[in-house]
Chains A and B, each alone.
Chain A
């Protein structure tokens, strides 16, 4: 289980997602967990299938944008919901894994379809206490 916290926060018609953790990688994983939880409660997702996702970008903020959009893409084309994520980072290259299962509308009752991560409010930073924060507004 990735340490840290996954939080959603209000943003007009859209949804804000925030991941925090002691490492940049944990914050990225938790941001994806917050995104996935906007669609379906994570505790009802069986981690029966794992999907590998890699991406690379010139800076941290764009890397978060790419990572969340890659998660959205995999959910859309595989028709899956995810409940857990792991991320490892080497510089600006991300290797991630997402655990989940095929959507079962009756059981999951997915609430909303994420369209894409936006660049407004993109934030990847380390707080004074050392906590990493990865934050984004997602259009739904």
Chain B
């Protein structure tokens, strides 16, 4: 089924022509556009091959000339051969480019390669571990970059793309890799990366290593000083004896080693920048080859800080990290994305800053470090005083080394296994080592030369700590997974309406509300909220029946309802003005008091709304409308639901609750009133305030709900007064008392008794809040204990 027929070139402007070559071309697969890397790719790669050959050949030339076996005839013989190799490499490069196609869109990430043996790699977005951009010098000159995708143990390379495109794709892929929904079209604005640093526009540099500091730190590092000193000694000794050529055999490998060290530590780490990007930490580095590498924080398995002897004078440290799946091959080679270096050189403050980002909440303070016992000097005479270990509730720390002081930090949750070792000499001294294993990488947490009992205790307690930390991590993940699941389909739904989470106006227990435009809002019901469709249909009917009735305030209106991705939504008319609850937070008392009076006015206006059914009735919810003979019967029915779950709790929390209940029923039986529409939840979060001619006025009340009934209109008046106590601003209780006085003045002293009765009613009604809103439940208890 492999077809060797080359795919047709697809122009991006022509969306109908689609090609999907090779294995992936199944009859049912949707055909979509694929694209090739940049056409200059074969040239850049050919050039790299040429350079590689030239260097290899040049090295050959040098070694043969040093052995005096170089003949000029060899050169003419080898040049055409070199030409053929370069041409072949160019052809191979062209073929590789021609048959490489990729798709990165909202649905998938797929890379297809191979002329004869086709290979199609499809990487699920969630499996992406890091997306790095690498710009070898040759590619950089053409403004091209390689995109390197790490997923599991495989690395997929896309080379070469335009730099801007590569960084755009990287941003998109990292967003998707974090499990967030995004559309590739949303990212089409240019996130211009600079040629020199490759930092995106949104990137905030945290730590930048200046070239001076890098070079000084390199010159003072032990790894450099030792071979340098040895070379000088060798040259000095042999020069004084006049036998320098004899030493070349030893000197040349030493020099090559030093050059490669310079290449890795200076050229490769040049302009090192650790930056905070919107999608996590990012490292960019390199003088000739520019590498931009993301640091997947959730994959960090451990951190190591090290300090060579001379760096101690300057207070400098180097930080390496273990990243899961990163450490295949050379951990520092400039080509590899898998660099384990977090900072090549950093001051103490920068170390704290970087550690805080990589292991949030980590602090060295408060960790008690235990030294090794004195008898360890018989085995570690050279650095026994530096051996330390310690832990807190999240991490284990071990320290060792005098010449190069190292500190290994392993979060308990990342502990793989624990090992206690004891050699024959250690047994004699009653000492043992404890190894805490982490995945492959520079971090090796070993607590050296502990007392036997301390070692055993450390190992066993470490297992416990690791177990607790793993359980906590699992818990955290499952919580995150649930809320992510809630959010992922939500993002798609919001996008369909052209909205985003930033347009969130408010959220409650049942739904979240997003602004769509000036006139409409999207109300997104929570997926776990039961039967929102029925409620919405009943509300829609109710609102329609009130259309054209002017009671002086705005009422809600449902424009559209629907369901998408398992989430039910309605599009509602948007209230003018601002949410009353949030307005109250910032308003001063002089503004608040008149506004509260208008809130009371608006509440009283509600009773002018006609009820769709005569008499006492439930208007919204299961089996509604449901009529009742008396107020007391209706309210008893309304309380059944909440009390079913909270009854036991109330019996425990309120002494004499049965008496409170009976008193409520006795009182309600005495109330004689003609029924009117009762909103049931008139509170500032459900009201809207606008600037009127004489100051701010409450102009709308929204969010009718299953609380809505046809009953005593005083229920809403009482609610407006007493729910005000729940507002989070400081003077809310005082305002509530003041507003109650206003209401009493209006309606007479008689209502004081009924407000008190309805306090108890609402106290029972919202008592099921014990399971989700402790503050509301506390309020309920206060009402019931009055």
Chains A and B belong together in one complex: no
Q: Which residues of B contact A (CB under 8 A)?
A: none
